[in-house]
Amino acid sequence: MDRPNRRASVIDGRMAKNRKTTANRKVTAAISARAAALMSLGVAVIYYLSNPKPQNHYDYTFRVAANFLSGRIAFTEPQPSWLNEFVPFEGFYYSVFPLGGVLSMLPFALLKKLGMISDMPGMLIAALQAGIICWFLLRIASKYDVSPARQFVQTASILFGTFMWTNLTFGSAWQLALGFAVVGELGAIYFTIYERRPLLAGFFFALAFGNRTEILLTAPILMFLLLRPSGPERDAREPLVSFRSAVAPLARFCAVPVILGVATLLYNYFRFHSFTDFGYSRIPGVLNEPWYNEGIFSWSYIPRQAWEMLFRSWEPWPAFPYLGPNGFSATIIWSSPFLLFLFRSDVPRRLQQAYRRIRSRIRTRTEIAAFPSLYSIFSFRSLRRDRGLKYAAWLAICILTALLWTHGNSGGWQFGYRYAMVILPWAFVILLEWAPRRFPIIEATAIGFSFAANAYATWLYNWTTYMKP
């Protein structure tokens, strides 16, 4: 066969392979889409059954939402003593939760108004949030050329291999606000990057920052990703869309967030006569607490909070069960070591070069048979997909983490570092962007350990008396 014909044959073979790969991807996505509903339902059931004694009595946003339906934003009577974050101001009592957190509770407050429930259904809300989170994670994972097994396991690692499982199933207003925020972030990411619908992306982004205000700082990142050329084969050097083409999608994306932002400023003004006062510093005695010795936020808190989130180890106990986390903060790396694979892309090239050098020197059949197995245990090889998306996700994580670390309190009674739930959607994107098609043994081991550690923590907090606030 002459060279032109050989080249044509190779090209035809590659095209056929590409068509086959594309077809397989469609089948994989379809399977994942059908399985997503069942897995999401299963996750919701597991979350619902994870805590027999949820903290429904910490129902700040639920109470305020029910009050909204009665046409009032303030309470005229003092609220129960355990709800110490109601702020007295000019003869009324206000919650310090932002407006978005209250609006998120309106559907459930309506059920109370209709007489269908009497108390905040904390576990039902947590279960619904977990099911929606699972659905979005699976839909995002289905956009990558990884096996269905990795899609399911990577999704489960976020839901059951992180501190989100234990914290969200507490079922109190603080944790449910974080659950709404994660739902909003995932929806914004999905409809910005993978299935571009700017209006829906903006709606979910409003849900996210309406419950956790710090997420507002990631708006420029989402806008940048919205304006990038889409598709897995995009050229990283290709410029953003033109200004004229950018106006319409940006306007649709910003519509709901701008409405909520303006409404939140007005809500603050009606409560405390200041557009920017959320009322947190007005909580009686809060500024006298030792961890707020320099105010609610301060750059000086960063070293302490970094230690709380990354390095504060579990503690040995003198009796059974002998080991447990500190109830006010603990390292998220200990309980979720698979998160270390966020850094997988920084080491593979040298490892591969070393592997090739050693592999080339192997002589015997025994060595040839054994060495690939050993390499598969420690393999960090990954697929490079969209480097720009990976860096954007890292930027979002850095911005959110830096702001969280400037807060004097690590999050009160919790497992791990509950505020860091807001970085998990971006971490999921990075894990998929650089994931190999199959699981190296060390990664599978890390995920398995994460499942065990978080199941143990959920049992400790929700089913035993070993952990008490």
Ordered by start, the domain boundaries in the chain are 3-463
Q: Which residue has the higher pLDDT, 388 or 307?
A: 307
Render pLDDT for 214-268 as a digit per residue (tens, 0 to 9): 999 999 999 999 998 765 445 445 556 666 788 899 999 999 999 999 999 999 9
- For the cut 90, the answer to whether the pLDDT of residue 162 exceeds it is yes
Q: How far apart are CA 136 and CA 154, in angstroms?
A: 12
Q: How many residues does the chain have?
A: 469
- For the cut 70, the answer to whether the pLDDT of residue 99 exceeds it is yes
The per-residue pLDDT for 387 is 86
**Spatial contact of 411 and 329, defined as CB atoms under 8 Å apart:** yes
Q: What percent of the chain has pLDDT over 70?
A: 81
The per-residue pLDDT for 25 is 40
- For the cut 80, the answer to whether the pLDDT of residue 377 exceeds it is no
The per-residue pLDDT for 29 is 44
Q: How far apart are CA 175 and CA 406, in angstroms?
A: 20
Render pLDDT for 415-435 as a digit per residue (tens, 0 to 9): 999 999 999 999 999 999 988
The per-residue pLDDT for 28 is 45
CB-facing half-sphere around the CA of 375: CA atoms within 13 A: 17
Residues 6 or more apart in contact with residue 334 via CB below 8 angstroms? 313, 314, 453
Mean pLDDT of 339-351: 70
**From the CB of residue 44, how many other CB atoms can be counted at a distance below 10 Å?**
21
- For the cut 50, the answer to whether the pLDDT of residue 125 exceeds it is yes
Q: What percent of the chain has pLDDT over 90?
A: 74
Mean pLDDT of 160-189: 98
Question: Is residue 276 packed enough to be buried (19+ CB in 10 Å), middle (13-18) or exposed (0-12)?
Answer: exposed
Lowest-confidence pick of 19-33, 155-169, 322-336: 19-33
Average model confidence (pLDDT) across the chain:
87
